[in-house]
Amino acid sequence: MATYNDEGIVLRRIDYGEADRILTVLTRRHGKIGVIARAVRRPQSRLASRTDLFVRSNMQLARGRGELDVLTQAEPIASSPHASDPRRAACASLCAELTDRVLEDHHPDDEIYTLVADALVACADTSRDPRAAVVWFGRRMIDRLGYAPQLYDCAACGRRLGEQAARFSAEGGGLLCPQCAAHDPAAIECSVRVIKCLRVAASDDTSLWARLQLDPATLAVLERVTEAELAQHLDRRLRSFDVLRALETAPS
Ligand SMILES: [Zn+2]
């Protein structure tokens, strides 16, 4: 069997047969691929920990006869430190679910690969709320998909928006002036602060985003806006948002 090497991140995995696992792996040079990891559920398997969710490794893969390539070796680059914290794990799952949902197989994209790898690292960064990573990642993916919302002019009538709170319409494609907002009951109220954060994310300025003070209330609105847009643009809702919300409201 022909083999090749690539760097990859495990986005999804399911147990298969007696001891195998089927993985969805985002690779840097081959895009998203299906991989079978044979016998990794046996206790003595060397590759078992390399098939954990969100682990990033240098992989050696063999071309399979069918849809799935075969994992033959893996040297970890980054582990998966999210597992011990359910909120961080849920945020990482959300990034992985979104990636899996929007990317087609075998379409490599180095920028998206880096975006996903960085998002998973950020979800594990204990100095920051992991939802900041989810919002950043979601907003960057929305832009990459070509759905960048209108954040400076009213998305309905085109009037310039003043420096004041406004409502965000996922269906309308951005912020609305007060007159237009009256016609969209689903539009989400956004403070001046939330609007500023949306604009920073749209500018793709990672260092400015890293310096923003994101309090829980601001993050909650940013997350709602991002979820509403993704629901608007993807066929199905992302289940990970429900998991995350259940964790946010559960007593700690
Ligand atoms: Zn308007």
CA 50 to chain centre: 21
Alpha carbon of 165 to ligand 1 centroid (Å): 13
Inter-residue long-range contacts of 199-204, CB under 8 Å, 24+ positions, other chains counted: 199/151, 199/152, 201/135, 201/136, 201/139, 201/140, 202/139, 202/143, 202/148, 202/149, 202/151, 204/140, 204/143
Alpha carbon of 222 to ligand 1 centroid (Å): 21
CATH superfamily of 86-249: Recombination protein O, C-terminal domain (1.20.1440.120)
* Res 57 pLDDT > 90: yes
> CATH 2.40.50.140 in the chain, residues?
3-78
Vertex 78 angle, CA 73 and 81, to 5°: 120
Alpha carbon of 159 to ligand 1 centroid (Å): 6
Taking the complete model, does pTM exceed 0.85, yes or no? yes
Mean pLDDT, the chain, rounded, equals: 94
What CATH fold (topology level) applies to the domain 3-78?
A: OB fold (Dihydrolipoamide Acetyltransferase, E2P) (2.40.50)
Angle between helices 130-144 and 192-202 (to 10 degrees): 60
Alpha carbon of 170 to ligand 1 centroid (Å): 14
Q: What digits encode the pLDDT tens for the residues 177-222? A: 999 999 999 999 999 999 999 999 999 999 999 999 899 999 999 9
Vertex 229 angle, CA 174 and 249, to 5°: 120
Q: Which two tokens stand for residue 180?
A: 């237009």
Predicted confidence at residue 252, as pLDDT, reads: 57
Predicted confidence at residue 66, as pLDDT, reads: 87
Cβ 82 vs Cβ 124: under 8 Å: yes
Q: What digits encode the pLDDT tens for the residues 97-153? A: 999 999 999 999 999 999 999 999 999 999 899 999 999 999 999 999 999 999 999
Alpha carbon of 233 to ligand 1 centroid (Å): 22
Q: Which two tokens stand for residue 110?
A: 């180095």
> For residue 91, which of 142, 130, 138, 135 has the smallest C-alpha distance?
130
Alpha carbon of 151 to ligand 1 centroid (Å): 12
CA distance 212 to 201: 11
CA distance 187 to 198: 15
> CATH 1.20.1440.120 in the chain, residues?
86-249
Task: Over range 151-161, report the average pLDDT.
Answer: 97
CA distance 94 to 82: 12
Alpha carbon of 31 to ligand 1 centroid (Å): 41
Q: What digits encode the pLDDT tens for the residues 163-187? A: 999 999 999 999 999 999 999 999 9
* Res 26 pLDDT > 60: yes
